[in-house]
Amino acid sequence: MPVNPDAVGTTGDPAETSWTTRDTLLYAVGVGAGQDPLDRSELPFVTENSMELTQRVLPTFAVVLPDVTGALGAIGSFNPVMLVHGEERIHLHREIPPRGSVSTVAEVTAVWDKGSGAVVEITSRSVLVDDGEPLFDVVMSAFIRGEGGWGGDRGPSAVSEIPEGSDPDATLTWSTRPEQALLYRLSGDRNPLHSDPSFAAMAGFDRPILHGLCTYGFTGRALLRELCDSDPARLESMAGRFSSPVFPGEDLTVQIWRTGEQRAAFRTLGGDGRTVLDAGVATIRG
């Protein structure tokens, strides 16, 4: 079993990542923003020169910025084909600027034994280089098939906060495009699982699948619109668990339940009604 459970607590060296206005615009298009040319609420995310608007950044852009390779290398070797995204959580300390640089320290915060595989959790904390103040934290977990079974702690299970038996307070459906994964990969995740049919077949799929973080970005757009009036400064945190792969071209339906004045539960459904992102929780600044 190559995955090392004793890697918990290992941190990587600080790693700097920079981005430009082009990167933030491309990310927004990669998660489906701007498909409606008459929708001015998304123009700040996909243009930098629209009349009477200033460019702004989708909060979920935070997921593409942290460099976690140092921490990830500490867990040992494994077959990358066997890795699937488990959960993703972001906490925004403030609004992300259209251009800038962050310094990120990533830490292995958990390695859990799920029997059929291992779950590895990495927490990254990023500060804006310009002022040294926190900008966002990102917690991601990955399930690595075939790497469990050493008798370790199974870890917690995701719990949904959706009120049982209640209808959602808001439902929004976005359409993904057949080439959506090819657009999204230009923001940094070049995993061939999302572009190469031969590689996808090795992982058991009949065609490339959409990045889980692309689905996450589509979902974040819905939360931003329904809970924050499209103001990225108001989204404080967003967390969810990936439960089923999505294929480019599918519709994504986001269901949202307001569970408090500044808190909401959500889930995202695929085109056939199956849940693809669940146990979702978002918090909002007043």
CA nearest 230: which of 100, 56, 20? 56
Give the Cβ contact number of residue 133 at 10 Å.
9
| Active-site residue, from 67, 113, 137, 194 | 194
Residue 39 carries which side chain, given as an amino acid letter? D
Residue among 23, 113, 137, 189 flagged as catalytic: 189
Q: What is the 3-state secondary structure (H, E, C) of 24-39?
A: HHHHHHHCCCCCCCCC
Q: What is the dihedral of CA 93, 98, 99, 101, to 10 degrees?
A: 20
Region of residue 235 (phi > 0: left; psi between -120 and 50: alpha; otherwise: beta): beta
Torsion, Cα of 213, 253, 238, 126 (10° steps): 30
13 belongs to the catalytic site: no
State yes or no: is 194 an active-site residue: yes
> What is the H or E stretch that residue 103 is in?
strand 100-113
Long-range CB contact pairs, 258-264, < 8 A, 24+: 258/169, 258/227, 259/161, 259/163, 261/286, 262/236, 262/286, 264/169, 264/223, 264/227
CA distances from 121 to 107, 111, 112, 210 (A): 9, 6, 8, 22
- What amino acid positions are annotated as catalytic residues? 189, 194
